[in-house]
């Protein structure tokens, strides 16, 4: 497995360096890499999406575990490095993992095919939230996400009702998935060292008793939290009768997922699919 010296040498030999614009902070701590793969339960024949393989430290460990790796790399220099190092052992997608900044690239979707897969990645900070929510909301073949992200984002994902960090990200994640914090990762495990602490999380989809219009629910929650400091009565109308147990003087961030769903069903009607 690659050491920090190996990563530096691989880049230097090709005249490359970490690019801040792509959020390149390479995870080089081998214990953390093994921890991530162990949490994901990756085994022989499992299909895995890795976003931002960099110099291939995690990629190499995934291949050693027997995974079929689809790797997406936006940096052309690093794409060449990955292609050279792993040749036909990795299915490489060159370019942005997202289209229009919110949806998983069609090229990535095509590369993944019809087989179930999981995301195992040291995600660049700037794409973490849209990638994770898009996979959870729109990609039922994704059976789990096991990623390193900014600790602040992990805190938002895990934020309970009444917490100031609670918002649409955590609500959508906990409504349609189960979230677990695997661990906290200090900046020293990365190169270059980021200015923030990272966290490793697992996000697994939940099977709902009755499927709903997820996009409509996301729009409704986003609408409420765009006025998060206002009382529900001001947002939804003072004359409106709210579901039992919900007070019009409450603010959106105190609502449980079940209360938000009750409000959504009242607002939109039970838009079942």
Give the C-alpha separation, 246 to 248, whole Å.
7
132 phi and psi angles, rounded to 5 deg: -65, -40
Q: Classify the phi-psi angles of 41: left when phi > 0, otherwise alpha if psi is within -120 to 50, otherwise beta.
A: left
Angle, helices 257-268 vs 214-225, to 10°: value is: 110
Spelled out in words, what is the top-level CATH class assigned to the domain 4-205? Answer: alpha beta
Give the C-alpha separation, 122 to 74, whole Å.
14
| DSSP-assigned beta bridge partners for residue 272 | 212
CA-based nearest residue to 201, from 225, 177, 167: 177
Check for a shared fold between 4-205 and 214-268. no
Per-domain residue ranges of the chain: 4-205, 214-268
Whole-model pTM above 0.85?
Answer: yes
Work out the average pLDDT over 22-34: 96
Of 42-51, 109-118, 190-199, 233-242, where does mean pLDDT reach its minimum? 233-242
The pLDDT-based confidence of 172 (bands split at 50, 70, 90) is very high
Spelled out in words, what is the top-level CATH class assigned to the domain 214-268? Answer: mainly alpha
CA-based nearest residue to 70, from 108, 100, 33: 108
């Amino acid at each position: 497995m690659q050491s920090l010296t190996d990563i530096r040498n691989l880049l230097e030999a090709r005249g490359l360096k970490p690019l801040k614009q792509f959020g390149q902070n390479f995870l080089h701590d081998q214990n953390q890499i093994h921890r991530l793969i162990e949490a994901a339960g990756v085994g022989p024949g499992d299909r895995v999406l890795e976003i931002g393989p960099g110099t291939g430290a995690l990629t190499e460990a995934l291949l050693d575990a027997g995974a079929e790796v689809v790797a997406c790399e936006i940096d052309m220099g690093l794409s060449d490095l990955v292609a050279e190092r792993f040749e036909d052992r990795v299915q490489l997608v060159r370019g942005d993992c997202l289209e229009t900044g919110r949806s998983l690239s069609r090229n990535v979707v095509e590369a993944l095919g019809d087989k179930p897969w999981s995301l195992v990645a040291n995600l660049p900070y700037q794409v973490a939230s849209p990638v994770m929510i898009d996979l959870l909301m729109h990609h039922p073949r994704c059976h789990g996400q096991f990623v390193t992200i900014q600790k602040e984002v992990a805190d938002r994902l895990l934020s309970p009702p009444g917490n100031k960090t609670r918002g649409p990200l955590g609500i959508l994640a906990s409504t349609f998935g189960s979230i677990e914090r695997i661990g906290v990762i200090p900046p020293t495990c990365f190169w270059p060292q980021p200015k923030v602490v990272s966290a490793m999380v697992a996000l697994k989809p939940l099977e709902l008793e009755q499927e709903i219009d997820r996009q409509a629910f996301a729009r409704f929650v986003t609408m409420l939290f765009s006025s998060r400091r206002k009382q529900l009565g001001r947002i939804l109308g003072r004359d409106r009768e709210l579901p039992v147990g919900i007070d019009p003087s409450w603010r959106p961030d105190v609502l449980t997922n079940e209360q938000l769903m009750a409000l959504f069903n009242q607002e939109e009607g039970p838009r079942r699919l």
